[in-house]
Amino acid sequence: MKITICQLNPTIGDIKGNLEKMKKVIQQNSGSDLVVFPELFLVGYPPRDLLERKWVVQAVEQAIDELKEFSKGFQSAGILFGAPVPTHRNFGRGLYNTGILIHQGKIIIIQRKSLLPTYDVFDEARYFEPGEDIDVVKFKDEVLGISICEDAWNISEPWQRQIYKVDPINILAKKGATVFINISASPFYLGKEKLRFKIFSDHALKYRLPFIMVNQIGANDELIFDGRSMFIDRNGFAVDVLPAFEECVKTVDTKDSGNADYYRPQDEVESLHNALVLGIRDYMRKCGFEKAIIGLSGGIDSAITCYLASRAIGPENVLSVTMPGPYSSKSSIEDSRKLVDNLGIKFMKIPISQIFSAYLDVLTPHFKDRKEDITEENIQARIRGNILMALSNKFGYLVLSTGNKSELAVGYCTLYGDMTGGLAVISDVPKTMVYKLADFINRKKEIIPVEIIKKVPSAELKPGQTDQDILPPYEILDQVLHYYVDEGYSVQEIINKGFEPDVVRWIVQAVDRNEYKRRQAAPGLKVTTKAFGMGRRMVIAAKYEY
């Protein structure tokens, strides 16, 4: 059977636009036996509380009817796609997450998703009822075992246990499937591509059946979808793996065989780079922004953010603003200028010393008998944030904030200051990974000035300041953060790995103490297994025993 894999980028809520995208691809591949689209493609994934709007569900139903009528014009091609469908019951959530197969104007099967994930970024039980029946369907020369994303993930990895009682893939195999087809909206994080391939390859080998997975690409708010749709033969070998982070439509034949050497996962840092570029581009495009503005400090974080933005939307659409203050070094301004020249982006210089002095003149009488402290440092950061927002309001730029995950984790950032922005580009990238990203960017020629990379990190908000005045070395900080935030280890478990007890306690307490800051941060692009944002739900007003 010839099956066309449609790895496409839907826009959430744009049902008409997503439908037109489907129609165009179907027309171009009308000779295929089956044209397959990702999970919930008609409405886009994740639609979240849009599913609670009746008019959205009604628009999806109208689109399904339109697609049925459209399919009458194609004698060969069946159409398999994802959509929310009402349960028509007077109890429960009222919707199923389904895969719908249409052929020649008729619905051949509606396969309901059985396993509804509720961990990390997923919240499907909030909207959907689990499917109770899992059936195969005879279509042309194959018996299709259709599953929807999580339905194929009831394995012990990576949770060290099976988290569902039902195993849809096993049921489909027992009912006589001759090919597995999984329609997915599987978000990206570093290393997930390899995990996906292993899971689907294991299914194919275990049941001696070919496995086709169709994944969406694109970025929707914090989530990035990398695609990497794949066709795996009955021996668990890749026959075809579609490219990452780009739309691709490709037809495969279920009779074809792969080989053990075909599959090669993307380089980790390269995939991080490409994910962030796509994340910026899609967030801006889908939110209606064409231009971005970035505060350029002379440090590596803002340099990386400027570079990524220039790759995402073009250097002509990026404005960088350097805002030197009383403690800014001459080298920071010079290094910023060199970066701007390398990237070809726009540059603006707005000094803040005079504004800062005005603040101090106003506040000094009220700060009588109190020494200067972090208050005065934060005023400088907030002045810069206000300037960026003023330019954003006046010219319609989207402010991209530049803080990394390490800083955000321990609160080494200023509310309404350097946290100001509409999108936090590298807020899920640990500082040690930021340096690896810089090395990748400079792999062919120097783009990020070497002076910026070698510079000792500093907020430059007081004389002689460096990050390590307050923070542990980033190599240690990032390891402890990984164990505590990503892996959920206890303080004692982290100490047992050889870290200094006082350092571990300081880091852990800083993470928990600064939850209120992160709740007010801009949306950040998720690239690790556990990002601050929609996948991490921690209380603010709480007390922990360490």
Measured between alpha carbons, how far is residue 386 from residues 161, 176, 352, 373, 462 in Å? 49, 63, 11, 21, 20
Q: Which two tokens stand for residue 130?
A: 């689990």
Question: For helices 300-313 and 268-287, what crossing angle results, to 10°?
Answer: 60
The amino acid at 472 = P
Q: How far apart are CA 309 and CA 102, in angstroms?
A: 41
Tokens of 457: 């990190």
What single-letter amino acid sits at 523? P
The side-by-side arrangement of strands in the sheet containing 346-349 is 346-349, 318-322, 292-295, 398-401, 423-424
Q: Are 209 and 180 within 8 A, CB to CB?
A: yes
Cis status of the peptide bond prior to 265, with omega within 30 of 0: no
Write b or e for each residue in 140-177: b if 16 or more Cβ atoms lie within 10 A of its Cβ, otherwise e. eebbbbbbbbbbbbbbeeeeeeeebeebbbebbbeeeb
Cβ count near 444 (within 10 Å): 7
The Cα angle at residue 124 between residues 236 and 172, in degrees rounded to 5: 35
371 exposure class (CB count in 10 Å sphere: 0-12, 13-18, 19+): exposed
Q: Maximum distance among all alpha carbons in the chain?
A: 86
- Label residue 247 exposed, middle or buried (CB < 10 Å: 0-12, 13-18, 19+): middle
Question: What DSSP element (H or E) covers 35?
Answer: strand 34-36
Residue located via tokens 């984790």: 409
SS3 452: helix
- Both tokens of 532, joined, read 């601050």
Lookup: tokens for 380: 């400088």
Q: Rounded to the nearest 5°, which phi and psi values hold at 92?
A: 85, -165
Query: The tokens 């195999």 sit on which residue?
Result: 173
Six token digits for residue 516: 């209120």
Token pair 């980033």: residue: 474
The residues annotated with a catalytic role in the active site are 39, 113, 149
- The DSSP line for 370-382 is ----HHHHHHHHH
CA distance 309 to 313: 6
Q: Is the dihedral of CA 330, 335, 340, 341 positive or negative?
A: positive
Burial class (CB in 10 A: 0-12, 13-18, 19+), 412: buried
**Cα–Cα distance measured from residue 105 to residue 120, given in angstroms and rounded to the nearest whole number:** 38
